Every structure is written in C-alpha cells, then in structure tokens.
Structure 1
Amino acid sequence: MKFICFSFPLISLLVSLGTQADVLISLSAKLVRPPCVLTAENGEKELVINFREVALDRLTEEKQSFGILIKQCELRKNLQVYLSPREGNTLTINNETVLATSINGLGIRFSEENKSNALNLNKWERIAPSVSGDTGKVVIQSQLVTNQAIENLTAGPFSAALSVMVDYL
C-alpha cells in the first residue's frame, strides 16, 4: 500500500515533464514601395515661382510652368500626385480646388502642362511623367484664377506655398 501511494507522485512528475505549452505567434507586415524622391529641375528641394508684375486685366492669361523631377521610383508604374497648401488654404473656383493666395479671392490653379484638367488640391490625381533613364519629369502649369470681379481684387504683392507628394496608384 505504501508503495502505491508513493508511485502516484512519481507518475504525475513524469506526466508533467512530457507535456508542452504552446505559444501561438502571429506575424504581419505591410510591404511598401520606396517613396519617390522629388526635386526641382535644378536638383533643389525648394522651387520659387515668380509671376512678376501682373496687370489685373490680364490676370487669367498669366501662366507659369515648372518641372518636377521624380527619382528613385518605379517610373513604369502608375503614379499620382498630391498637392496641398503649405500655408494658407484652398479656394473652389469653377468646381476646381485651387491654392488660395494672400489676396482674398485670388487663387492659383495647377494642371499638367498641355492638359486642360486641373490637379485639384488635397486629392490624389493621376499624372503621366515623361521618362528618361531612371528619372521622370512632370511639368506643372500654374495659372492665376479668381472667384471675384477683377475690379474687386486688391492690387499688391501676394504669396502662397504648396507641398507636392508623388506616390504609386
């Protein structure tokens, strides 16, 4: 009898050594393409566009084009651009979202050069850069626009700032 009482603790010790604890480990990640590197055509990270002096009666005729280089990017993929105000706000003019300037009612409309559709601000818009080797280039045209009668605009200097991002569709 004493032998049987003594053997149960030994059996339970052997059984507990034979069991294993399971730990379930779940792993997840998101693979992303590397971000595109953007520069002005001269390689700088900042670009200054100067409309110079603009006569009020020629306001909507004034346009300035500028190139943005796209590097370290899979240029054969579909790309999109996101324009957002760096300072200030946006205006809606002719159902297009444009960059507001420091003059009330005066905005700047952006489009790809030789295209009629606007690149609306605060929205991803598809672009088609020209590609040469490992560098893409998109030429953006900026145009002054207003939601007011010309005679109601305040004459004087104005400013606005824009941030540009390019990503894959």
Structure 2
Amino acid sequence: MTMLNQMKKSLGLLLLCTVLESHADVLIDVTATMVDPACNIRSENSSSPLAIDFNIINSSELNKSAVVKDFSLYISDCNFSKSLAMVLNPKGGSTLSYNGKNILATSIDGLGIDFTEVTGGTIRALEMNKKQRIYPERVNATLYRMDLQAQLVSAVPIKQLELGEFTSTVTLSVTYN
C-alpha cells in the first residue's frame, strides 16, 4: 500500500505541476493584399505645383479661337504592363457643365477649363471626378510621357463673364485601370 500511496502522491504532484504550467493557444489570422506600386507623376521641369498660365486674354478671343495651353506629364514607377487611368479631382469639387461633361470651374462663374489628352496625336476628353483610361508613351525603360491640353472655355455668353483675374486648382492622380 505504501507503494500505492506513494504513487498516488506522485501522480497528484504531477497533476498539480501540470495545472500550474498550463497554457492557452491563440490563433492569429494574417491577411493582406499585395498591390502594384503607386505611380509617380511629375511635370516636365518637376515644378510643384504645375502652373498653367493663360496670361492676359481679351474676352472676345474665347469666341474667335481656342485659348489652349499644352503641357506634358511624366509617369514613372508604375507597372506599365497594366493599363493606367487618370482621375482629375478639382479642389473644393468645383466643376462646370460644358458640352455634356464636367470640366474644371474657375473662380469666375461660367468660365472653365476643359482638359484633353492628346498623346500620340489622338484626342481623348478628360472629365472631372471620373476614372478614365490614359495612353502614355514610353520615353525609356522606366519613364512614360502623357501630353495634355487645357482649354479655357465659357459655358455662358461671353458678355455675362465677369472680367478680372481667375484661379482654379485640380489634382491629377494616375492609378491602375
């Protein structure tokens, strides 16, 4: 019996040690999404912000001929095997309806800026707050160029436009389509 009692004591002590050394398991679920790198976009001379200056304009010129400024943007660090898109977001959400699309409004009521992609000689309208496919041309292995135009337009009769200085701001973002 002593042997049995000793075994009981040893077993009890072993159970007590096991209880004191107990632990809990925690299951950790790890999830993530791998994405292509964000594109870098810059102006031809890397100016920030990119300034488009229409200079001094006689209001009657808006009726006679297009008041247009051409500029280029350079895109790098993208996965160029995928199609790219551009989104134009006006500061403060200021848009103006012109020829059936939303264009960038200026600080003068009725006066707007209509953006167009003209890369490779093909003309593609760009609308505000809308993701639109773009077609940049390859400059070298890591750099592409996109040619754009900004045209000053009046959505109201010229005589209704207030004369004076005007401003407007838009953010251009390049993303994957």
TM range (shorter): 0.7 to 0.9
Measure the CA separation in 1 of the matches of 2:10 and 2:95.
Answer: 84
Match of 2:88 in 1: 83
Q: Does 1:37 align with 2:44?
A: no
TM-score by length of 2: 0.81
Match of 2:134 in 1: 127
* Count of aligned pairs: 169
Deviations 1:113-166 (A, max 9, x none): 144442111121110001111211111111112221111111222111121111
Match of 2:55 in 1: 52
SS of 2:85 mapped into structure 1: strand
SS of 1:73 mapped into structure 2: coil
Match of 2:174 in 1: 166
| Deviation, structure 1 residue 89 | 1.1
Measure the CA separation in 2 of the matches of 1:118 and 1:11.
Answer: 80
SS of 1:118 mapped into structure 2: strand
| Deviation, structure 1 residue 21 | 3.4
Of residues 70, 92, 97, the one that matches 1:92 is 97
The residue identity in structure 1 corresponding to 2:40 is V
- What is the percentage of aligned positions where both structures have the same residue? 35
Deviations 1:81-134 (A, max 9, x none): 111123561112222111110111111011101444421111211100011112
SS of 2:61 mapped into structure 1: helix
Match of 2:158 in 1: 150
In structure 2, do the counterparts of structure 1 residues 76 and 7 end up closer, same or farther at CA, with 3 Å as the change threshold? closer
Is the 1:80–1:126 Cα contact (8 Å) retained in structure 2? yes
Provide structure 1 residue ranges, at least 5 long, that are not aligned to the other structure.
Answer: none
TM-score by length of 1: 0.85
Measure the CA separation in 2 of the matches of 1:135 and 1:54.
Answer: 35
Provide structure 2 residue ranges, at least 5 long, that are not aligned to the other structure.
Answer: none
